[in-house]
Amino acid sequence: MIAYTLLAGLLFGLYFSLVATGLNLVFGVMRLINLAHGDFLMLGAFLAYGLYTAAGVNPLYTIPAEIAAFMLAGIALYYAVVPRLLSSRDPEMLSFILLFGVSQIIEALAVIAFGNDQRAIPATVFGSRPVFLFGQSFPAAWVVSAAVSAIALLAVYVYLYHSRLGYATRAVMASRDEAASTGINVHRVSAVALGAGLALAATAGAFSAFMLGSIEPDMGIGITTVSFAVIVIGSLGNPLGTVLGGLVYGLGLMFMETYFPSWADLLPYVLLILILLVRPSGLLGKRVRLA
Amino acid sequence: MSPSALLRVERLSKRFGAFQALDGLSLEIAPGEILGLVGPNGSGKTTAINVISGVYLADTGTIRFDGRPIDGLPVYRRARMGINRTFQVPKPFRGLTVAENLEIAAVYSHADRGQVGKCLKFLDLDSLAGREAASLNSAQQKRLDLARALVCRPRLLLVDELGAGLNPAELQSMAQTLATIASSGVALLVVEHLLGFLRAVTSRVVVMDAGREIFEGPLDVAARDPQVIDVFLGG
Amino acid sequence: MFAALPFVYGNHALLFNMMMYLVLAQGINVLFGFTGYLPFGYVGFFGTGAYGASLAILLLHLPPLPALLVGAAAAALVGLILAPLLRLSGAYFAIASLAASEIVYYIVSNPHLTPITQGPYGISLVQAYNAGASYAVMVAVLALALGAVVYLRNSHLGLALQAIREEPISAGFAGINVVRERTRAWLLSAALAGLAGGAYAWHVSVFYPKPVFDLNISVFAIVFTLFGGVATLLGPIVGTLLLYGLYNWIGISQPEYFQLVFGIVIVVLVLFLPNGLVSLLRRIKIDVP
Residues 6+ apart with CB under 8 A from C270: A85, A94, A95, A97, A98, A101
User: CB atoms < 10 A from the CB of C132, how many?
Assistant: 10
CB C174 within 8 A of CB C163: yes
Residue C43's nearest CA partner among C133, C103, C120 is C103
Q: What is the DSSP string of B118-154?
A: HHHHHTT-GGGTTSBGGGS-HHHHHHHHHHHHHHT--
- CA C66, C67, C73: angle at the middle one, nearest 5? 90
What's the CA dihedral at B167, B172, B176, B178 to 10 degrees?
40
C251 — pLDDT class (breaks 50, 70, 90): low
Instruction: Among C167, C169, C225, C267, pick the best mutation site for testing chain A contact (most A Cβ within 10 A).
Output: C267
User: CB atoms < 10 A from the CB of C206, how many?
Assistant: 11
Closest approach of B59 to chain A, Cα-based (Å): 8
CB B28 within 8 A of CB B5: yes
What's the CA dihedral at A116, A117, A122, A126 to 10 degrees?
10
Closest approach of B53 to chain A, Cα-based (Å): 10
Residues 6+ apart with CB under 8 A from C253: none
Closest approach of C254 to chain B, Cα-based (Å): 40
Phi, psi angles (nearest 5°) of residue C59:
-95, -35
Task: Test B56 with A289 for CB contact under 8 angstroms.
Answer: yes
Bridge pairing between strands B156-160 and B83-85: parallel
Instruction: Among C156, C170, C173, C278, pick the best mutation site for testing chain B contact (most B Cβ within 10 A).
Output: C173
Q: Which chains touch A (3 or more CB pairs under 8 A)?
A: B, C
Q: What's the pLDDT score for residue C26?
A: 85
Q: What's the pLDDT score for residue B86?
A: 92
Phi, psi angles (nearest 5°) of residue B157:
-120, 125
Q: What's the pLDDT score for residue B188?
A: 92
| Residue A92: Cβ-neighbour burial (10 angstroms; 0-12, 13-18, 19+) | middle
Closest approach of C148 to chain A, Cα-based (Å): 25
Q: What's the pLDDT score for residue A157?
A: 87
Q: What's the pLDDT score for residue A131?
A: 74
Q: What is the DSSP string of C218-241?
A: HHHHHHHHHHH-TTSSHHHHHHHH
Phi, psi angles (nearest 5°) of residue B84:
-145, 175
Contacts of B154 in chain C (CB under 8 A): none
Q: Give the separation between CA A244 and CA A251, rounded to whole angstroms.
A: 11
Q: Give the separation between CA B70 and CA B52, rounded to whole angstroms.
A: 9
- Chain C residue with the nearest C-alpha to that of B134: C166
Residue C152 Cα distances to B129, C38, C75, C101, C115, angstroms:
22, 18, 21, 26, 42
Look over chain C and give the mean of its residue pLDDT values, rounded to a whole number. Answer: 82
Q: What's the pLDDT score for residue A288?
A: 40
Task: Test B57 with A288 for CB contact under 8 angstroms.
Answer: no
Q: Treating both helix axes as pointing N-terminal to C-terminal, what angle do A91-114 and C90-109 enclose, rounded to 10 degrees?
A: 50
Successive 10-residue mean pLDDT values, chain B, 235 residues: 78 85 90 88 88 90 90 90 91 89 90 86 87 87 91 92 84 88 90 84 87 87 84 67
Closest approach of B114 to chain A, Cα-based (Å): 31
Bridge pairing between strands B19-29 and C123-124: unpaired
**What amino acid occupies position B229?**
I
Closest partner residue to B152 among C159, C174, C177, by Cβ? C174
The percent of residues in chain A predicted with pLDDT above 90, rounded, is: 2
Residue B210 Cα distances to B19, B48, B108, angstroms:
10, 12, 37
pLDDT at C102 over 70: yes
Q: What is the DSSP string of C184-209?
A: HHHHHHHHHHHHHHHHHHHHH-EE-H
Mean pLDDT of C219-240: 83
- Chain A residue with the nearest C-alpha to that of C222: A97
Closest partner residue to A225 among C99, C106, C219, by Cβ? C99
CB B138 within 8 A of CB B164: no
This model of the complex carries an ipTM of 0.86
Task: Test B74 with A291 for CB contact under 8 angstroms.
Answer: yes
Q: What's the pLDDT score for residue C1?
A: 58
- Chain A residue with the nearest C-alpha to that of B95: A89
Element (H, E) at B188: strand B187-191
CB contact, 8 Å: A55 with chain B? no
- Chain C residue with the nearest C-alpha to that of B158: C173
Task: Test B74 with C172 for CB contact under 8 angstroms.
Answer: yes
As a residue count, chain B comes to 235
C7 — pLDDT class (breaks 50, 70, 90): low
Q: What's the pLDDT score for residue B210?
A: 87
Report the SS3 class of residue C43: helix
Q: Give the separation between CA B85 and CA B69, rounded to whole angstroms.
A: 19
Closest partner residue to A108 among C89, C106, C260, by Cβ? C260
The percent of residues in chain C predicted with pLDDT above 70, rounded, is: 91
Element (H, E) at C70: helix C64-82
Q: Give the separation between CA C207 and CA C201, rounded to whole angstroms.
A: 7
Q: What is the pLDDT of residues C259-277, one digit of tens each?
A: 888 888 888 888 887 777 7
CB contact, 8 Å: B74 with chain A? yes
Give the pTM: 0.81
**What amino acid occupies position B223?**
A
Q: Give the separation between CA C226 and CA C240, rounded to whole angstroms.
A: 10
Q: What is the pLDDT of residues C32-87, one digit of tens each?
A: 888 888 888 899 999 888 888 888 888 777 777 888 888 889 899 988 988 888 87
Task: Test B74 with A288 for CB contact under 8 angstroms.
Answer: no
Q: Give the separation between CA C27 and CA C20, rounded to whole angstroms.
A: 11
User: Cα C94 vs. chain centroid, distance in angstroms?
Assistant: 14
Contacts of A272 in chain C (CB under 8 A): 95-96, 99
Closest partner residue to C274 among A88, A96, A270, by Cβ? A88
Report the SS3 class of residue C106: helix
Q: Which pairs with CB-CB distance under 8 Å and at least 24 residues apart come from B111-118? A: B111/B151, B111/B152, B111/B153, B115/B150, B115/B151, B115/B153, B116/B151
Q: Give the separation between CA C268 and CA C277, rounded to whole angstroms.
A: 12
Q: Provide Rg for chain A, Cα atoms.
A: 19
Q: In what side-by-side order are the strands of the sheet with B83-85?
A: B83-85, B156-160, B187-191, B34-38, B204-209, B212-218
CB B164 within 8 A of CB B193: yes
CB A141 within 8 A of CB A58: no
Residues 6+ apart with CB under 8 A from A93: C36, C38, C90, C91
CB B80 within 8 A of CB B117: no
Closest partner residue to C163 among B80, B104, B110, by Cβ? B104
DSSP classification of residue C249: I
Q: Give the separation between CA A188 and CA A75, rounded to whole angstroms.
A: 9
A290 — pLDDT class (breaks 50, 70, 90): very low
Q: What's the pLDDT score for residue A127?
A: 65
Q: Give the separation between CA C26 and CA B61, rounded to whole angstroms.
A: 46
pLDDT at A93 over 80: no
Q: Give the separation between CA A195 and CA B206, rounded to whole angstroms.
A: 50
Closest partner residue to C172 among B79, B107, B110, by Cβ? B79
Look over chain A and give the mean of its residue pLDDT values, rounded to a whole number. Answer: 82
3-class secondary structure per residue, chain A:
CHHHHHHHHHHHHHHHHHHHHHHHHHHHHHCCCCCCHHHHHHHHHHHHHHHHHHHCCCHHHHHHHHHHHHHHHHHHHHHHHHHHHHCCCCHHHHHHHHHHHHHHHHHHHHHHHHCCCCECCCHHHHCCCCEEECCEEECHHHHHHHHHHHHHHHHHHHHHHHCHHHHHHHHHHHCHHHHHHCCCCHHHHHHHHHHHHHHHHHHHHHHHHHHCCCECHHHHHHHHHHHHHHHHHCCCCCHHHHHHHHHHHHHHHHHHHHHCHHHHHHHHHHHHHHHHHHCCCCCCCCCCCEC
